[in-house]
């Protein structure tokens, strides 16, 4: 299997499923530590909007019984885990009869697109900038401009999103500030719709890229400086190979593996930033859905959305871990 032994694969899969079980247990427990419940919160919102809800106590008790909130916690937990094993995320209590799967199915593609686009941009741009900072052939002007652009790395994605929204949404209204695509459009695979999605998603993606690429540039520069003194670098230069060939074939290829490891580790942190960015731009993704679920104390929706994001992050780490032999043939994940 390309340098991956069956024993190693089984161990990594066991760790993957153990991670999912621990995460599922935590996201079941944590929402229930807060006072209140989703049914009471929903009735309270209705009371606030209408001024009065008749027979509110009976309504609350009836809905609690309907969703099993009166059952012992261990019964709720077993029912919840059984649903996960069957791929059933349950109902969104505050949006009944909508199911969590339906809501996640509408929101997840937008978050995957946003995270995928932002990750591709900051990983490529950040590592390229780091390689150029360490390469002796890089013009001096470039070596000055790249560090200057890293000033935005010191601010969180929340503030970066607000800054971009103010500059490019209000002062220079080049990009929209709401939703994943414009009103009146239907999701379809057409040039018009794709262009509209890119137009709406540009600012959220840049809010992530702007504050992230500097870390990758500094990490890549450190790895490149370390590699410069290796024997194979001295041999490549002694053979008279072209500098650009030495850059991408010897330096970047050997320095990129630790960056891949760092990418796997920081995926979870990246998701946290995406949640805040989506809320700022009212982007129709998982971040906005989680924010709404927490505000409404919707246990089912909090559990479902959090589990999907954790599973996605864990799966990305697993894929990157198993792809190491493909990135660097010197690595062999065999049991010895």
Q: What is the pLDDT of residue 27?
A: 83
Three-state secondary-structure class, residue 99? strand
The interaxial angle of helices 286-295 and 100-134, nearest 10 deg, is 130
Decide if 270 contacts 119 (C-beta within 8 A): yes
What ranges do the domains of the chain cover? 106-295
The neighbouring-strand residues paired with 333 are 4
Q: What is the pLDDT of residue 335?
A: 47
Which option is the CATH number for 106-295: 1.10.287.3510, 3.30.70.60, 3.40.50.300, 1.10.3720.10? 1.10.3720.10
Residue found by looking up tokens 């609690």 in the block: 64
Structure tokens that stand for 166 in this block:
């103010």
Instruction: Report the distance separating Cα 79 and Cα 196, nearest Å.
Output: 42
Structure tokens that stand for 105 in this block:
């199915």
Decide if 253 contacts 259 (C-beta within 8 A): no
Q: What is the pLDDT of residue 1?
A: 45
120-148 pLDDT, tens digit per residue, is 888 888 888 888 888 877 888 888 888 88
Is the bond leading into 151 cis (omega within 30 degrees of zero)? no
Decide if 161 contacts 207 (C-beta within 8 A): yes
- pLDDT under 70 in the chain at which residues? 1-4, 34-61, 63-64, 66-67, 264-265, 267-269, 271-272, 324-336
Q: What is the pLDDT of residue 32?
A: 76
Residue found by looking up tokens 């099993």 in the block: 68
């Amino acid at each position: 299997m390309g340098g991956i032994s069956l024993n190693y694969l089984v161990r990594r899969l066991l760790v993957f499923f153990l991670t999912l079980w621990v995460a599922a247990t935590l996201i079941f427990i944590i929402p229930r530590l807060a006072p209140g419940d989703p049914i009471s919160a929903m009735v309270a919102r209705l009371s606030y909007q209408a001024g009065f809800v008749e027979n509110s106590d009976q309504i609350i008790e009836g809905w609690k019984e309907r969703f099993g909130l009166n059952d012992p916690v261990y019964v709720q937990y077993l029912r919840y885990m059984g649903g996960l094993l069957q791929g059933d995320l349950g109902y969104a209590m505050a949006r009944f009869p909508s199911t969590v799967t339906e809501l996640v199915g509408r929101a997840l593609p937008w978050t995957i697109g946003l995270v995928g686009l932002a990750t591709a941009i900051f990983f490529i741009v950040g590592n390229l900038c780091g390689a150029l900072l360490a390469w002796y052939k890089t013009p001096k002007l470039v070596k000055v401009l790249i560090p200057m652009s890293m000033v935005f790395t010191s601010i969180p994605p929340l503030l970066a999103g607000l800054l971009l929204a103010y500059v490019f949404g209000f002062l220079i209204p080049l990009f929209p500030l709401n939703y994943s695509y414009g009103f009146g459009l239907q999701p379809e695979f057409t040039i018009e719709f794709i262009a509209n999605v890119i137009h709406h998603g540009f600012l959220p993606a840049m809010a992530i890229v702007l504050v992230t690429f500097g870390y990758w540039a500094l990490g890549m520069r450190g790895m490149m400086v370390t590699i410069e003194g290796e024997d194979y670098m001295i041999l490549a230069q002694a053979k008279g190979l072209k500098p650009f060939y030495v850059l991408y074939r010897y330096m970047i290829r050997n320095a990129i593996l630790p960056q891949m490891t760092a990418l796997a580790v920081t995926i979870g942190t990246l998701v946290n930033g995406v949640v805040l960015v989506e809320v700022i731009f009212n982007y129709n993704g998982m971040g906005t859905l989680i924010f709404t679920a927490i505000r409404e104390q919707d246990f089912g929706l909090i559990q479902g959305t959090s589990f999907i994001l954790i599973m996605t992050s864990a799966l990305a780490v697993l894929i990157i871990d198993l792809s190491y032999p493909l990135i660097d043939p010197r690595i062999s994940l065999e049991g010895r």
